[in-house]
Amino acid sequence: MNNTEKYTQAFMDAFSIDAETAKTLKFQQIPAWDSVGHMGLVAQLEEQFGIMMEPDDIVDLNSYDKGREMLASKYGVDFSA
Amino acid sequence: MLKGKNILLTGADGGMGRAMTAAFAKAGANLWVNIVRDNADYCEYAQGLARENGVWIKPMVFDLTDGEAIKAAVMSIRSEKLPIDGLVNNAGILREGMLQAMPIADARLLFEVNFFAPFQLMQYITRLMMRQPNGGAVVNMSSMAAFDGVAGETVYGATKAALAAMSKSLAKELGRFKIRVNCIAPGVTETPLISQMSEEVLNRDRANTYLGRLGRPEDIANMAAFLLSDAASYITGQTIRVDGGRN
């Protein structure tokens, strides 16, 4: 599984959704992505990539695209493969 | 009481911390113990307790005024892939003096150690506890100074009141994840911290308790062990006074 697949899988596992839904998802777009679900997503991402996100980044994580950009720029996750 | 539980204890080599190290180890807990600098005497003491009680005790040297060091310590614990069942924010500092004469740098340092370090540790550790089916337990050390007021301890008391208030609200946030958050408010306890107090003041404090004595570190450590244990599984959001009953 490459990093993009792992990243998408984190959303799928956190919110019990399919990959297509995950890839366009924004915060609170579905009932599962509420404030509690948000921490579940953070848990999935931290476990998948072995990181510990800063509180500011947890707040800024408001969409699939934003999270991907953040993980690449701040946590050194390589999505090029 | 704590058999098989893994607990992070801060300020482990102080008077209260040593008593907690002993109480938790004797109750069967494994410990990550935070100390601010290498302390061979404490480490020897801790390893003796570990051997006697068949548990592990891992010293972790990090400075509680250094946010990056706190984060690195939590990352190190997480890399062990063990459950974290308990966090005890025991470390604290005291600076006494009239408010008018307290340098603001001292006031900031008090908040840094007594409030912001527990704040940050709870941020990180409870995030890990949320992922565990059995949640976890946090015990924070408040003080009677937070509730009764003590002349000369205005800022110290404020830091401890802030910690108690944070604990109450955090207990409400985390109850759904089976994470309990409680505080202990000790009375005057026989630790090295009270060496700054005169015998006259200590005698007055003794006389002011229903039990006619100062607290012993074991009194506080035993309460912390209880609050960490499953015996306290329906207790959260509380500040428990362990003060001998104060007039």
| ipTM score | 0.81
Inter-chain CB proximity A52 and B130 less than 8 Å: no
Mean pLDDT of chain B: 96
Q: Where is B25: in which H helix or E strand?
A: helix B15-26
Sign of CA dihedral B196, B202, B204, B209: positive
In a domain, A80, yes or no: no
Average pLDDT on A14-39 reads: 95
CATH number of domain containing A55: 1.10.1200.10
pLDDT tier at B247 (50, 70, 90 boundaries)?
confident
Domain count of the fold of chain A: 1
Of residues B85 and B194, the one with the higher pLDDT is: B85
pLDDT at residue number B63: 97
In a domain, A68, yes or no: yes
pLDDT digits (tens, 9 = 90+) for B147-191: 999 999 999 999 999 999 999 999 999 999 999 999 999 999 998
pLDDT tier at B50 (50, 70, 90 boundaries)?
very high
Chain B residues whose beta carbon lies within 8 Å of the beta carbon of residue A42: 127
pLDDT at residue number B201: 86
pLDDT at residue number B193: 75
Nearest chain A alpha carbon to B176: A36
Instruction: Identify the domain containing residue A64 by its residue range.
Output: 3-74
pTM: 0.93
pLDDT tier at B74 (50, 70, 90 boundaries)?
very high
A-contacting residues in B 163-222 (Cβ below 8 Å): 176
Mutate to test the interface with A, among B131, B132, B176 (most CBs of A within 10 A): B131
pLDDT at residue number B192: 83
Nearest to A52 among B74, B130, B176 (CB): B74
Calculate the CA A56 to chain-centre distance: 15
How far is CA B139 from each of CA A3, A45, B29, B55, B154, rounded to the nearest angstrom? 38, 28, 15, 21, 23
Residues forming beta bridges with residue B33, ordered by sequence position: B9, B59
In a domain, A60, yes or no: yes
Beta strand residue intervals within B17-145, DSSP E: 30-35, 57-61, 86-89, 136-141
Cα separation of A24 and B73, whole Å?
A: 36
| Shortest alpha-carbon distance between residue B66 and chain A (Å) | 15
DSSP 8-state class, residue B1: -
Residue B198 has pLDDT above 90, yes or no: no
Cα separation of A20 and B79, whole Å?
A: 32
Residue B226 has pLDDT above 80, yes or no: yes
Amino acid, res. B8? L
In a domain, A81, yes or no: no
Give yes or no for B61 touching A (CB within 8 A).
Answer: no
pLDDT at residue number B196: 74
Amino acid, res. B165? A
Nearest to A52 among B75, B131, B176 (CB): B75
In a domain, A8, yes or no: yes
Residues forming beta bridges with residue B246, ordered by sequence position: B209
In a domain, A70, yes or no: yes
Residue A71 has pLDDT above 90, yes or no: yes
Cα separation of B65 and B43, whole Å?
A: 22
In a domain, A79, yes or no: no
User: Two tokens at B132?
Assistant: 């565990």
In a domain, A15, yes or no: yes
DSSP string, B160-223: HHHHHHHHHHHHHHHGGGTEEEEEEEE-SBSSGGGGGS-HHHHHHHHHTBTTSS-B-HHHHHHH
